[in-house]
A and B are shown apart, each in its own frame.
Chain A
C-alpha cells in the first residue's frame, strides 16, 4: 500500500523469460510510465552452458561440435570461425575447392537464418502469412544442407584443413533450382510485407540506432548497416574465398526498424549472388589439406579471428600454451553487444513497440548466454 502523500508514478512489467517474442529465454524488466517505457533492463544467462569453460576442458577437435550450438541459426559461420582460428594457429592452408564449398554452404545457412528472422519477426508484428511463405522457402535450403552436412540445424560440417565430404551434382543442381525459385518469390515478399502500409507505419522511425551508438556499444551486422555504416567482415577483413566474388554491402539511412528489414532483405539477394558465382567458378581439386596433423597441438601464442555471421561480427580469441587443449577461448558474439543497446533504444517507446524493436535487432539468446 502507498503511504499517504506519496504518488507511485511508474510500475514494473515483466517481459519473459517465457515470452514468444523474446525468441529464446530472455527476460526484460520494464519500468513503465503508463504505456511508455521508462527503463528497460534485460536479464540474461538462462541458457548459460559454459561453452568457454568447456573449451578449456577438451581438445581442439572436441570443441568443434559446440560451435553449432552457440548461434544455432547460423551454425556454419561459427564452424568456420573456429576452424579458421585453429588453422591460423597451426599454419594450415585450406584448398581452394574447400573454401568455395565453405562459402556456398555458409551463405545458404545465412539465408536460412534471415528467412527465419523474417517469418518470426513478422509474426511478432501480427502477420502470420509471411511466416508460411518463408518457411516453405527455407525448407528447400535445409534439404540441400542436410544432403551435404547430415543435419538440419546444429551443423558440424567444416574440419581443420577443409571439409570432410564433397558436394555432388545433385546438390549443385538443387542450388540452381533454389536460386531460381527464390528469386521468383521476391515479388510476393514485397507485396506481402515491404509495401504493406501497416508494416511501414509500425517500423518507420521506430527503434532508431545511431552510428555513434554503434561505436560506443560495438553493434555489428545488419543492425549496424541499417544505420548506414558499410561494415561487413566479408569485405572489411576478407577471409576464405570471399575476395573472389562480386557483391555489395546493402546499407540503410535512418537506422530504424524498416531500414534493418530492408538491409536483411537486400543481403539475401547478395548471398544468392555469391552462391551463383561460387557455383560457376567452383574449382576442382582436393577438399582437405594434405598435411593436417592428427594431434592438434598448436605452438604457444594467441589469435583473434573474426567472421561475419547473420547477426554481425563473431570474433574468436584463442590462447594456446602449446597443449592439446586451448588455454583460453573467448567467444565474442554479436548479439551480446546488440542486446546491451536495448535499454537505450527502447526508452520512451510504447510497450507494443518494444516487442517490435526487440525482434528487429535479431538476437539469438543462446548465443548471448553461451
Chain B
C-alpha cells in the first residue's frame, strides 16, 4: 500500500503529525503536520514515493501566522497527502522548487498573493499581479475594494 510506504518514509523526519485522514469527508488519505523547515525533506520523501505536487498554497489563519498547505497525489495509486505547515508572519519558508520544479510557480504565486518569502527560490517575483503592485490581495487585512479601480 502506498499510504504505508509514505508513512514509513516520513517516520524518520519526526513530524508533528502523520495520521490517516477521513477521505469521504475531506478528500485526504493522509494528513501531515510539519514545520516549514522540514518541507524540503518531506518533498524529497514524497518525490521518492513517486508522488507529484498537486498544489501549494497558503491560508492567512490569524494576525500572527500563515498555514502553508501542500497537496501531493500519485499517478499510479489513489493516495492524497496533505501537509500543513504553520509559518509565523514575517518569517521565511525554505523553497521546495529544487525538489519539485513545478513548485517554482506555485511559490511565486504564494509570494504574489500573500507576500510570503521562500528562501532559496531562484526567481521570487510577482507572477499574476503587475510588477509594481504594492499589495498582497489574499491577506485578510486586504478588503474587497482595496485594489482601487485601476485609474
Contact = CB atoms under 8 A, between A and B. Distances in A.
Contacts of A336: 105
A303 B128 contact: no
B138 A218 contact: no
Nearest to A231: B75
Contact of A217 (B26, B73, B76, B101): B101
A362 B144 CA distance: 33
A171 interface: no
B29 to A, nearest CB: 10
Contacts of B138: 52-53, 56, 328
Interface in B121-140: 126-130, 137-138
B55 interface: yes
Interface stretch (A161-169, A274-282, A311-319): A311-319
Contacts of A217: 52, 100-102
Interface residues of B, number: 38
B44 to A, nearest CB: 12
Contacts of A301: 25-26
B128 A44 contact: yes
A18 interface: no
A72 to B, nearest CB: 18
Contacts of B75: 214-215, 224, 229, 231, 236
Contacts of B127: 44-45
B9 interface: no
A315 B55 contact: yes
Contact of B128 (A45, A229, A315): A45
A317 B69 contact: yes
Given A303-B27, A317-B69, 9 more contacts: A45-B126, A52-B113, A57-B144, A88-B27, A217-B101, A304-B71, A305-B27, A306-B54, A328-B59
Interface of B: 25-28, 47, 50-55, 57, 59-60, 69, 71, 73, 75-76, 78, 80, 82, 100-102, 104-105, 113, 126-130, 137-138, 142, 144, 147
15 contacts: A45-B128, A215-B50, A218-B53, A218-B54, A218-B100, A231-B76, A236-B78, A302-B26, A305-B27, A319-B59, A328-B138, A330-B69, A332-B71, A340-B105, A344-B101
